[in-house]
Amino acid sequence: QGPSGITPGGDRATSITITFLHEDGESMGHCPFCQRLFMVLLLKGVPFTLTTVDVKRALDVLKDFAPGAQLPVLLYNGEPKTDTVTIEDFLEDKLGPPMFPSLVPRYGESSLAGNDIFHKFSTFIKNPVPAQDEGEKLERGQLDEYLSAPLEYELAHNPHLRASQRRFLDGDQLTLADCNLLPKLNIVQATRKCVLSSCATLPARPGTPQPALRSLRHQEGCKVPTDTGTTYTKAGQC
């Protein structure tokens, strides 16, 4: 039985189980790759079972069905699938149109937008005394430029459009690009707030993480980890 808020559909004989790491026994934990696949399954609208594994027991649990693998792991009709990108490709192949929506971005650039933020983030989190202006740099870069620039389909409707009116990276629908980016941006925001003791956020565009990620989390009633910022701050200072 899938989490609440998931629209049943497709072949009910298909069994999908996704296994995540967790720290408190209640939430999905802080892993952006786990959250990424969780979003994919939610958007596909396919029933699935979510199981969590304690960080300390992960290797022992996985040795029975996916020895040597790292979480998340997907079981599709009992067959294990590992590696986040491989799982995404597999789900897109198995759970595609017309029964399930395609999540493939129309524009390849959508999958690359925001990469500069994580380069800056890795530098930012390793700095024991980050300055305020360094935190502000996380808000700028290619992501903001990409979100602001009209896409081809927008210009086809309005050649004089100067600023994009789309909701998400690739348009008005969430895609694999958003599933990849949103959990990571959520971590950046939480960590930045923890380190800087600031309530400032990334640009409040419809395409930034808060509306989409909050909506998906509310759908399935998942407890949002409140110590994400602390976790990544400590990791960066080790």
| Structural domain harbouring 200 | 108-237
The answer to whether position 8 is within a domain reads no
25, 55: one domain: yes
Both 80 and 115 in a single domain? no
Q: Tell me, what CATH number does 128's domain have?
A: 1.20.1050.10
Q: Give pLDDT, residue 161.
A: 96
73, β-bridge pairs: 19
Query: Residue 231: inside a domain, yes or no?
Result: yes
* Single pTM value for the model: 0.75
| 24 part of a folded domain | yes
Q: Domain containing 81 — which CATH number?
A: 3.40.30.10
- Same structural domain for residues 44 and 148? no
Residue 80 vs residues 61, 109, 166, 221: alpha-carbon distances, Å = 13, 31, 37, 26
Task: Collapse the DSSP code of 53 into the 3-class scheme (helix H, G, I; strand E, B; otherwise coil) and give the result.
Answer: strand
Strand partners, 39: none
- Average pLDDT value over all residues in the chain: 73
Taking Cα atoms as reference points, which of 11, 22, 165, 32 lies closest to residue 76?
A: 11
Q: Based on the fold, state whether residues 134 and 206 are members of the same structural domain.
A: yes
Q: For residue 178, which of 113, 121, 125 has the smallest C-alpha distance?
A: 113
Task: Quote the pLDDT of residue 97.
Answer: 94
Report how many domains make up the chain.
2
Task: Kindly report, residue by residue over 70-114, the tens digit of the pLDDT.
Answer: 778 898 988 889 899 999 999 999 999 999 999 999 999 999 888
Q: In this structure, is residue 1 part of a structural domain?
A: no
CB 52 within 8 A of CB 19: yes
> In this structure, is residue 4 part of a structural domain?
no
Closest C-alpha among 1, 98, 122, 113 to residue 44: 98
Check whether residue 61 and residue 115 sit in a common domain.
Answer: no
Instruction: Give the Cα separation of 88 and 226 in Å (integer).
Output: 27
- Residue where one domain finishes, among candidates 27, 60, 94: 94
* Same domain membership, residue 229 and residue 162: yes
User: How many CA atoms lie less than 13 Å away from 94 in the CB half-sphere?
Assistant: 17
DSSP annotation of 28 reads -
Q: Which helix (H) or strand (E) holds 49?
A: strand 49-54
Higher pLDDT, 185 or 223: 185
- Coil, helix or strand at residue 32: helix
Same domain for 116 and 213, yes or no, is yes
In the predicted model, what is the mean pLDDT of residues 123-149? 68
Residues 139 and 84 in one domain: no
Residue 51 lies in a domain: yes
Share of the chain above pLDDT 90, in %: 30
Same domain, 76 and 186: no
Asked if residue 190 and residue 146 are part of one domain, the reply reads yes
Q: Are residues 227 and 180 in the same domain?
A: yes
- Domain end call among 65, 94, 123: 94
The full DSSP string for 134-164 is HHHHTT-SHHHHHHHSPPHHHHHH-TT--S-
Q: Does residue 100 lie in a domain region?
A: no
Same domain flag for 42 and 76: yes
- Name beta bridge partners: 49: 17
